């Protein structure tokens, strides 16, 4: 298991400083960059006693293994990998707070950009946790954190050994699981998404795996009027999550 990792991008590092400053080991900023976007991050680092080092762009590119770092790179202690036990703790906590669980299941999403965008959607929609299979799925990486714009630091990501078994577990806790499938008879706007809910999304093109699909309580589709047959998984996730939000607000 990794003991350290690299986080980069203004929003990702800022969220880290706000939520888990104790994880930051070193912080590098681009030499000569002093603008209003960077000022709050520098102030947040100073407030928790973290000194930043100024470095040339080439150095930051090498540290981040990317040129998309926005002039901010941090070396941090690796985040704890959340598992089934942590999901159980979340369910107990929600029950004690009398909150209806609102979960997102991502089956086979292997692109870090897609996972990052889905986490950002989940954070905006008020999702309590995101569940992914341990295998055949991307975990939290520096690219995921960058794309998630800080959401990776606040939305719990549970990596579970057996997705179908985990789905049965949350069903036993009273959560209704709605899966997305192009051939479903009803669509997202016809579904009742107001109660304890988990929305299951599959990878673009492949969709949900057979066992995952069979473990859902119901299947829904997104109405498609054009010629394309499917949407990017993060776009489809946003549509489904915010239809649930709309219903819950109503």
pLDDT, tens digit only, all 250 positions of the chain: 568 899 999 989 998 998 899 999 999 999 877 778 888 888 889 888 998 899 999 999 999 888 889 999 999 998 888 999 999 999 999 999 999 999 999 999 999 999 999 999 999 999 999 999 999 888 888 888 888 888 888 999 999 999 999 999 999 999 999 999 988 889 999 999 999 999 999 987 788 999 999 999 999 999 988 777 778 999 999 999 999 999 999 7
Contact 97, 17 (CB under 8 A): no
- The class level of CATH for 4-77 reads alpha beta
Q: What pLDDT is attached to residue 1?
A: 58
Q: Is 129 annotated as a binding residue?
A: no
* Beta strand 24-30 pairing with 72-77: antiparallel
pLDDT at 134: 93
Q: 59 — phi, psi (to 5°)?
A: -65, -45
Please report, for the chain, the start and end positions of each structural domain, with discontinuous segments joined by +. Answer: 4-77, 84-249
Establish whether 27 is an annotated binding residue: no
CATH superfamily placement of domain 84-249? SPOUT methyltransferase, trefoil knot domain (3.40.1280.10)
- ∠ CA 39-44-49, nearest 5°, is 125
Question: Dihedral of CA 53/4/162/128: which sign?
Answer: negative
| Interatomic CA distance for residues 228 and 194, integer angstroms | 29
Whether 202 has a binding-site annotation, put simply, is: yes
Contact 7, 144 (CB under 8 A): no
Distance separating alpha carbons of residues 11 and 17, to the nearest angstrom: 10
- How many CB atoms neighbour CB 183 within 10 A? 7
The CA angle 198-200-204, to the nearest 5 degrees, is 155
Q: List Cβ neighbours of 178 (8 Å cut-off, separation of 6 or more).
A: 191, 193, 197, 198, 199, 200, 216, 217, 218, 219, 220, 240
């Amino acid at each position: 298991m990794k003991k350290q990792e690299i986080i980069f991008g203004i929003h990702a590092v800022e969220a880290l400083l706000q939520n888990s400053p104790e994880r930051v080991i070193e912080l590098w900023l681009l030499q000569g960059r002093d603008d209003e976007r960077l000022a709050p991050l520098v102030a947040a680092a100073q407030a928790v006693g973290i000194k930043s080092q100024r470095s040339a762009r080439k150095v930051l590119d090498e540290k981040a293994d990317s040129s998309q770092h926005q002039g901010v790179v941090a070396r941090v202690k690796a985040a704890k990998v959340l598992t089934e036990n942590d999901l159980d703790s979340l369910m107990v906590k929600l029950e004690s707070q009398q909150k209806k669980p609102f979960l997102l299941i991502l089956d086979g999403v292997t692109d870090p950009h897609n996972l990052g965008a889905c986490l950002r959607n989940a954070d905006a929609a008020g999702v309590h946790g995101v569940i992914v299979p341990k295998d055949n799925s991307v975990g939290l990486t520096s690219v995921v954190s960058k794309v998630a714009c800080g959401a990776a630091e606040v939305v719990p990501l549970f990596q579970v050994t057996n997705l179908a078994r985990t789905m049965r577990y949350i069903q036993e806790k009273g959560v209704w699981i709605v899966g997305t499938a192009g051939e479903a008879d009803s669509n997202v706007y016809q579904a009742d998404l107001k109660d304890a809910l988990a929305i299951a999304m599959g990878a673009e093109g492949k969709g949900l795996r057979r066992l995952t699909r069979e473990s859902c309580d119901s299947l829904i589709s997104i109405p498609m009027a054009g010629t394309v047959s499917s949407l990017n998984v993060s776009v489809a996730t946003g549509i489904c999550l915010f239809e649930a939000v709309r219903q819950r607000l109503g």
